[in-house]
Structure 1
Amino acid sequence: MDKIDFVVTWVNGADKRWQAKRAEFDNRSLSKAGMSSDKAYRDWGTFKYWFRGVEKFAPWINKVYLVTDDQIPTWLNIDHEKLVVIDHTDIIAKEYLPVFNSNAIEMNLHRIKGLAENFVYFNDDMYLTAPVAPTDFFQAGLPVDMAVLSPIVAEENGTANFQVNDMEIINKYFTRNEIIKNGRILSLKYGKNLIRSLLQLPSKFICGYYEPHLPLKFKRSTFEKVWEKESQILTETTATRFRDKSNVNLWLFRYWQLATGEFVPKNTDKLGNLYSLSNDNSQIFSDLVTSKHKIMCINDGFEIAELEKQMVLLQDSFAKLFPKKSTFEK
């Protein structure tokens, strides 16, 4: 089995120094900031459990790369043999910094020095909550994924603009028939998700792919290949300090792998589940404590009443699953 690395991005939105830096460059009101609003940077105090999950449920991992903006959690053991802290200055040109746009940061993950050819990218709200195997992510040196067609849905503060921009590039290089053939679109391995594709097949063009909102599996060489072909748009996204409708996003590299057929087809929905925090999170807490899924993506929510109370309840649930410190902690 080839080496597999994990990459995770993190920001401490409560850091006064970081807040001042952001305010220096952001003249928009929060109502207009959208996906760059305070919610996007809010820290629920659960990041240490991300590391506990990695140590407990993926001890086979080669390296963990933590990508931050001159921030290191106070509890983190930076001398851990498997941990490498990557600052934005290590992967993004000085002229584009500071940057508060996750799209810009993610465009440049392949520039991480020493990063393995096969790596898994996590947002800091995606937690391992049950044992995972290398084959859950890669098989025969290829990412495990599913090429399922799905319409792009426009919603406030959503990712539709990025997806449209991504698909414009995909449709530039691949025909409809190539996308269907290479993606094994009609594979029974996708389970009930096959229905999504069947509903889209009558269309004369490929609108978009279904996004499972779980950690993404990448070949480092995929980033390099797309950068060779579309350096202008990727550079323009890198140069955008805050998210903008003109951006492409990380999904472009996933779509490229699907369109070229460089992946192993499987119903990846079975790997985990997406949750959104609200005023009643009892189901989230229950599924977390009982390890119902291998991976749980726990998104922040809007207008949560008694926010501090919900934070404490979430932290308590994580503590029940992971009562002991990991060696990634001091």
Structure 2
Amino acid sequence: MEVDVVYTWVNDQDPDWSRLRRFESRRLSDDVSWHESVNSNARFSNRWEIYYSIRSLKKYASWVNRIYIVTNCEVPQRILNLGVVVVSHEDIFPDLNCLPNFNSRAIESCLHKIEGLSEYFLYLNDDFFLASHSAIDDFYSADGVVSVFPSKHDIEYDGKNLRPVDYAAIKAGLELSKAYNFLPKKKLHHAPYVLRRSVLFEIEDKYESEVNVTRANKFKQKNDFPLATTFFAYYAIATGRGLEKLFPCRYVDIGDGKCFLLLIYILCGLKKYKFICLNEVCSMRYFSSIRDIFVGFFMKIYF
């Protein structure tokens, strides 16, 4: 079984990308103002996490076939030297009027259109890391059943003060409940999304309207359809092609001051994890420069 890996990535240090983001943010000011995380600098900050994430793949999953990076930014040589294939947004978006696009849900909805992509592939955000050795059967059974990694956190169907990720999970759950009488209970871990290309095309055919609306949203919106993440995972389960699997995962919000303690705890090796995510939802108010130095040190030592 050949398994590829696909990353989505932005480089906020790319001046052309930054100029496009500023322009679209002003033009679509109503679309970016509904939640602080939609256009937060934290959402797009680049600390070269992708470099260390790819290193973790090479260290703990040497069986990975090709590694693709989907981006609309210039990719520096240090990343290219890792043997990746760069894919532009123009290569995969069916409607170029949706570009430029800063909505990860929209970009994710096009990943299966990468030319030459294998049937089986893992989708990683650039802040996902493998933290211990993995085998293909951690992700796929011999007959292609995909692993789904649920977290302990409930999908907040009746929640208030919801974030974009919550609206997406709720939408996925309600669509699956309507079609398959199956209502997912748990949010997914921030861990590799285990995908099958043919099933993504199948979902796109069934939910064409929802997918097209999402692709047209240049920033995250409440009506985004999470094709490649929550919806795919639980659609696979609902149709007999997915199975829940439990692995020790650690999510660290590096926008929270407690991240220093969590990173030290991980470095001490008191608990072994399969996957680690270093995410920043909203920008850290104080000590962000010290945090960046510490996170860089952590990645260099750990991966």
Same fold, judged at TM 0.5 (above): yes
Between Structure 1 and Structure 2, how many residues are aligned? 288
Partner of 2:257: 279
Q: Secondary structure at the match of 1:237?
A: helix
- The separation in 2 between residues aligned to 1:90 and 1:53, in whole angstroms, is 27
* Structure 2 residues without counterparts, runs of 5 or longer: none
1:295 to 272, 275, 298: 275
Partner of 2:90: 89
RMSD (Å), alpha carbons: 2.3
Bigger radius of gyration: 1
2:295 to 314, 321, 325: 314
Tell me by how many angstroms 1:220 deviates. Answer: 1.0
Query: What CA deviation, in whole Å up to 9, does each residue of 1:102-141 have, x standing for no partner?
Result: 1100011110111111111111111112211111111122
List structure 1 segments (4+ residues) > 6 angstroms apart after TM superposition.
none
Q: Residue 4 of structure 2 contacts residue 121 of structure 2 at CA under 8 Å; is this kept in 1?
A: yes
- Kindly, what percent of the aligned residue pairs are identical? 25
Amino acid at match of 1:157: R
Partner of 1:163: 169
Q: Secondary structure at the match of 1:173?
A: helix
1:255 to 234, 239, 245: 234
Q: Residue 214 of structure 1 contacts residue 273 of structure 1 at CA under 8 Å; is this kept in 2?
A: no
Q: Residue 119 of structure 2 contacts residue 196 of structure 2 at CA under 8 Å; is this kept in 1?
A: yes
* Structure 1 residues without counterparts, runs of 5 or longer: 180-205, 323-330
In structure 2, relative to structure 1, the CA distance for the partners of 1:273 and 1:112 (3 Å cut) is same
Question: Counterparts in 2 of 1:121-270, with a 5 A limit?
Answer: 121-140=123-142, 141-145=144-148, 150-152=154-156, 153-175=159-181, 179=182, 206=183, 208-249=185-226, 250-267=229-246, 270=247
- The separation in 1 between residues aligned to 2:34 and 2:240, in whole angstroms, is 39
- The separation in 2 between residues aligned to 1:282 and 1:299, in whole angstroms, is 15
In structure 2, relative to structure 1, the CA distance for the partners of 1:74 and 1:307 (3 Å cut) is farther
Q: Residue 3 of structure 1 contacts residue 118 of structure 1 at CA under 8 Å; is this kept in 2?
A: yes
Q: Secondary structure at the match of 2:250?
A: strand
In structure 2, relative to structure 1, the CA distance for the partners of 1:154 and 1:5 (3 Å cut) is farther
Tell me by how many angstroms 1:33 deviates. Answer: 5.2
In structure 2, relative to structure 1, the CA distance for the partners of 1:105 and 1:160 (3 Å cut) is same
Q: Residue 50 of structure 1 contacts residue 124 of structure 1 at CA under 8 Å; is this kept in 2?
A: yes
1:59 to 58, 62, 74: 62
Tell me by how many angstroms 1:67 deviates. Answer: 0.7
Question: Counterparts in 2 of 1:83-122, with a 5 A limit?
Answer: 83-92=84-93, 93-122=95-124
Partner of 1:197: none
- The separation in 1 between residues aligned to 2:149 and 2:12, in whole angstroms, is 34
Q: Residue 36 of structure 1 contacts residue 101 of structure 1 at CA under 8 Å; is this kept in 2?
A: no
